Amino acid sequence: MSSTTGIGASVLRKEDIRFITGKGQYTDDVNRQGQAHAYFLRSPHAHATIKKLDISAAKKAPGVLDVLTGDDLAHDKVGGLICGWMIHNKDGSPMKAGAHPALAQGKVRYVGDHVAVIIAETYSQAKDAAEKIVVDYGVLPAVVDMNTASKGPAIHDVASDNVVYDWHLGDKAATEAAFKNAKHVTKIDLVNNRLIPNAMEPRAAVGDYDAGTEVFTLYTTSQNPHVARLVLSAFIGIAPEHKLRVIAPDVGGGFGSKIFIYAEETVCVWASKRVGRPVKWTADRTEAFLSDAHGRDHITHAELALDDKGKILAFRVKTKANLGAYLSTFSSCVPTYLYAPLLSGQYDIPAIYVEVEGIYTTTAPVDAYRGAGRPEATFVVERVMEVAARELGMDPATFRRKNFVKSFPHQTPVIMCYDTGNYTASLDLALEMADYKNFGKRKKESAKNGKLRGIGFSAYIEACGIAPSAAVGSLGAGVGLWESAEVRVNPVGTVEVLTGSHSHGQGHETTFAQLVSDRLGIDINSVAIVHGDTDKVQFGMGTYGSRSGSVGMSAISKALDKVIAKGKKVASYALEASEKDIEFKDGRFSVAGTDKSLAFGEVALQAYIAHKFTGAELEPGLKEGAFYDPTNFTFPSGVHICEVEIDPDTGVTSIEKWTAVDDFGNVINPMIVEGQVHGGIAQGIGQALMEGAHYDKDGQLVTASYMDYTMPRADNLPSFQIGMTNTPCTTNPLGLKGCGEAGAIASPPAVINAITDAIGHENIAMPATPQAVWMAIQASGSKIAAE
């Protein structure tokens, strides 16, 4: 097809028209006939038994239809929320997963935990009635600090020491041996600060039970409606899958936080049958802060063993990961299999050993947030690389270059086999774009103005295209992570593609249509992408882990292959030629060596009218489906360089220049890919400079609004310079690697490496607020400022 709408073109987004005119349809925009409203009474305590719960007065309050509690869930045999990935301890025993009821059953475990739900004619009436519920709490000590969590009290009876698992990966003996031979060991202690995802659309749900058909419909803010249906059906037991429809309409950002199956949607869909009315709930922002799954929250000690020439010999890492009060849907795999296998970074490291303790605390559940384990790994690797280079007196770019993996495929000591890459090319381009060679001049210029200038590198790698089903199954995943697609060609040659991927900002309606337009040679406006409804799309695993291109589009590509193959059969009858002589190019089926041909739409029509072949020869119609299961992860990589200027009098860090060079393999739509990078960098800068969830010693979340939790705003950020290199992925048909998380993975260490370069010492934690930077400068002595 024309290069203006095919693969590689920056096609303007098809979905934009509805969003810019206010015609998007988000879950809170859905209103069902007779709809009632839910309000959740949440625990004000971090840790308490519920000695008495009196709902009688609330039930009589104006407009109230019902007040439901954990007892009602138990009565209706509604199961608890699940964690879908089993992790095993070092000794082979399974992790300790405590029960997770959607409404508390005798105990609350974090501030914001769900005590009861009030369903009323209006939201205000439900909220007012909540004040009439009397709860007698037996308050227990909060468990907030991971370092002392083992002293208790136990949050779940199954884990007396509050340890979920004690897990490891790698070759301990080989690592220890390599450390014995090391000429230099770089040691570092790091905190990866806890973040709150903050998609701009708060979570919402509308449950609607049809007593006539016994079908439940759930509208929900989900990144993976089929996974939601699977969990709500097979594990929680709301209804069998054929009696449960889940619709995720337009979704206003996810970043991981909308992967998970939460208490609120479970309760809304269940309660819609209890009260006989559709039930709607929309989080206010403070509820989102309290109850959306949080991200990151690691404490890590890492040691890098080096020889006398600056070659890495081994790497050992010990991490404590906060998992919160309950194990959220995919929480257990984030600090284990999404983290430790990335600790080889872009480097050839002969031996690695990683130990991870997952810890229960009386805080909100912690699960995947943009990058999910990979930003945490990259922060460890790229901070230790920078510190090691400084300790060795080597240029940080040279030190990295020396240790890069240079031949592929490359098997790391921690599971992953990198199929392809060219790390040197990304570094070279980044150095040039960042004008690294003149950094010294700029630093002197800043010093003349009394400012501290620093430069920081981050050479990241991530594992995307999640994931080969058999591989993740062997590691404990409860599901397969393939993707499905169905291509329906209409008799007039227009096409609907049904995909199990879900778009919540990524622009699938455009990029997926570009692929179809390109392959079938039809106008991009003749292609519609259908997603987000379990009644339309048969099955799918959703969108996270930068998988929609490399896995979701690969499934579409496979289905398109089948459509073209079938089209050739149809064309052979219509053109009265042998099937092997039919060629398909630029939207036309033609007989090789002749001028006989039919346009794609004409062949579609022939497939449906079925006049040129008999039923014995060929099935009518043109509709093909495919499931695509990747054979390996994909490995996007790149180099980001951050240049900062710090005012030593105020501690304010200004990002002067941001250079990002990424290798995403082939790119469908550069405009959209660059947009993904921009957004990821902004979230990473947010983590590095501003954001941080903070619980006080009593387990109160003190950062539970936009007045307390600092979100990056337009005036906090620079514009970004984006460059790309391209080594196509070798394991999927389109050569795609994925781009959704790269920015958030790459950027935090780049910022901190720049700040530590500027202030001349390593001890600064994220978020590096002006106060933190100022204090670090004071602690390091005023000599830097005076230089």
Partner 1 sequence: MASVTMIVNGKEVTANVDPRTLLAQFLREHLHLTGTHVGCDTSQCGACVVHVDGRSIKSCTTLAVACDGASVTTIEGIGTPDHLHPMQAAFRENHGLQCGFCTPGMIMSAIDIVNRKGHQLDEHTIREELEGNICRCTGYHNIVKAVAAGAQAMAGK
CB of 657 vs partner 1, minimal distance in Å: 14
Give whichever of 226 and 504 is closer to partner 1, judged by the CB atom: 504
CB of 32 vs partner 1, minimal distance in Å: 13
CB of 633 vs partner 1, minimal distance in Å: 25
Give whichever of 494 and 721 is closer to partner 1, judged by the CB atom: 721
Side by side, the strands of the sheet bearing 721-725 are 452-461, 637-647, 652-663, 721-725
Side by side, the strands of the sheet bearing 483-489 are 527-530, 495-499, 483-489, 623-628
Angle between helices 742-759 and 374-392 (to 10 degrees): 30
Q: Which amino acid is at 728?
A: P
Contact 742, 683 (CB under 8 A): no
Give whichever of 344 and 676 is closer to partner 1, judged by the CB atom: 676
Contact 597, 589 (CB under 8 A): yes
Contact 499, 508 (CB under 8 A): yes
d(CA 285, CA 263): 17
State both tokens at 708.
């307390």
CB of 22 vs partner 1, minimal distance in Å: 2
CB of 490 vs partner 1, minimal distance in Å: 23
Of 336, 347, 339, 355, residue with least CA distance to 462: 339
Contact 256, 544 (CB under 8 A): yes
Give whichever of 17 and 139 is closer to partner 1, judged by the CB atom: 17
State both tokens at 754.
């720049």
Give whichever of 17 and 609 is closer to partner 1, judged by the CB atom: 17
CB of 165 vs partner 1, minimal distance in Å: 31
**Cβ-proximal residues to 141 (8 Å cutoff; 6+ apart), any chain:** 47, 152, 153
Give whichever of 203 and 320 is closer to partner 1, judged by the CB atom: 203
Give whichever of 17 and 492 is closer to partner 1, judged by the CB atom: 17
CB of 198 vs partner 1, minimal distance in Å: 6
Give whichever of 655 and 785 is closer to partner 1, judged by the CB atom: 655
Give whichever of 18 and 90 is closer to partner 1, judged by the CB atom: 18
Please tell me what DSSP assigns to residue 121.
Answer: S
CB of 679 vs partner 1, minimal distance in Å: 5
Contact 414, 343 (CB under 8 A): yes
**Cβ-proximal residues to 95 (8 Å cutoff; 6+ apart), any chain:** 86, 87, 88, 89, 164, 165, 327, 332, 358
d(CA 251, CA 626): 25
Give whichever of 557 and 687 is closer to partner 1, judged by the CB atom: 687
DSSP-assigned beta bridge partners for residue 273: none
Give whichever of 285 and 301 is closer to partner 1, judged by the CB atom: 285
Say which residue the tokens 């308490």 belong to.
48
CB of 139 vs partner 1, minimal distance in Å: 28
d(CA 715, CA 706): 16
CB of 404 vs partner 1, minimal distance in Å: 28
**Cβ-proximal residues to 580 (8 Å cutoff; 6+ apart), any chain:** none
CB of 503 vs partner 1, minimal distance in Å: 9
d(CA 53, CA 642): 54
CB of 711 vs partner 1, minimal distance in Å: 5
Give whichever of 217 and 510 is closer to partner 1, judged by the CB atom: 510
Main-chain dihedrals φ then ψ at residue 433, nearest 5 degrees: -65, -35
CB of 744 vs partner 1, minimal distance in Å: 10
d(CA 661, CA 431): 10
CB of 718 vs partner 1, minimal distance in Å: 9
CB of 16 vs partner 1, minimal distance in Å: 4
Give whichever of 2 and 124 is closer to partner 1, judged by the CB atom: 124
Provide the 10 A C-beta neighbour count for residue 662.
29
CB of 682 vs partner 1, minimal distance in Å: 3
Give the three-state DSSP class for 263: helix
Classify 725 in phi/psi space as left (phi over 0), alpha (psi -120 to 50) or beta.
beta
Give whichever of 287 and 355 is closer to partner 1, judged by the CB atom: 287
CB of 125 vs partner 1, minimal distance in Å: 10
**Cβ-proximal residues to 711 (8 Å cutoff; 6+ apart), any chain:** 198, 686, 690, 691
d(CA 569, CA 773): 69
CB of 61 vs partner 1, minimal distance in Å: 16
Binding site for partner 1 (CB under 8 A): 12-13, 15-26, 28-29, 124, 198-202, 250-253, 255, 284-285, 504-507, 671-672, 674-676, 678-683, 705-707, 711-715, 717, 719-720, 743
Give whichever of 553 and 560 is closer to partner 1, judged by the CB atom: 553
**CA angle in degrees (0–180, nearest 5) for 624-517-502:** 65
Give the three-state DSSP class for 68: strand
What DSSP string describes 563-622?
Answer: HHHHHHHHHHHHTTS-GGGEEEETTEEEETTSS-EEEHHHHHHHHHH--SS-TTT-----
Classify 58 in phi/psi space as left (phi over 0), alpha (psi -120 to 50) or beta.
alpha
Give whichever of 284 and 535 is closer to partner 1, judged by the CB atom: 284
Give the three-state DSSP class for 319: strand
d(CA 785, CA 288): 41
Give whichever of 579 and 706 is closer to partner 1, judged by the CB atom: 706
Give whichever of 19 and 539 is closer to partner 1, judged by the CB atom: 19
Contact 185, 244 (CB under 8 A): no
